[in-house]
């Protein structure tokens, strides 16, 4: 079943939950800083409980696919005992890239909540609209900008330190 509209606004209860879960994703993003990875964090929520967590580990694991979303999706699938993540909400600090947006569609995630946009690699709104593409067999409900200023500042400060 497809969401009513790709960009339908959250209910007040959803908005409160999404803000709380975004705080958890931001805490995950800060963990990435401990091993000099881009500070992006993610949680997957099912029935009001976090069932998957991840933060970027590309540098730490020397793995180009070790994005926060991919790691959280794997953990959530393990928790549920299958690859279908219907009924799940993925909350991530930055707009997902093409790989991660495709994984969200393939995993059948219901809702994507993200912090800041990614004008250089974002595949949900900025460059592409993979999760809402009507040609695909599954589409997600999307809400961006949740704690976007905090998420954007984390990234800007990281890159400012790396590229003075």
Report, as residue numbers or ranges, the catalytic residues: 69
CB neighbours (10 Å) of residue 63? 12
CB 116 within 8 A of CB 153: no
Report yes or no: 148 and 26 within 8 Å, Cβ to Cβ: no
Compute the residue count for the chain: 164
Q: Hey, what are 86's tokens?
A: 């219907």
26: helix, strand or coil:
helix
């Amino acid at each position: 079943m497809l969401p009513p509209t790709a960009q339908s606004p959250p209910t007040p209860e959803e908005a409160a939950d999404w803000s709380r879960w975004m705080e958890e994703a931001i805490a995950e993003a800060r963990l990435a800083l401990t091993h000099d990875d881009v500070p992006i964090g993610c949680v997957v929520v099912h029935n009001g409980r976090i069932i998957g967590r991840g933060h970027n580990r590309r540098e730490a694991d020397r793995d180009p696919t070790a994005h926060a979303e991919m790691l959280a999706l794997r953990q959530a699938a393990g928790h549920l005992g299958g690859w279908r993540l219907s009924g799940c909400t993925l909350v991530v600090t930055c707009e997902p890239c093409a790989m991660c947006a495709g994984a969200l569609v393939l995993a059948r995630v219901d809702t994507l909540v993200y912090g800041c946009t990614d004008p250089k690699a974002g595949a949900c709104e900025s460059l592409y609209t993979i999760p809402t593409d009507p040609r695909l067999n599954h589409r997600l409900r999307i809400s961006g900008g949740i704690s976007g200023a905090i998420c954007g500042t984390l990234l800007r400060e990281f890159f400012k330190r790396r590229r003075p």
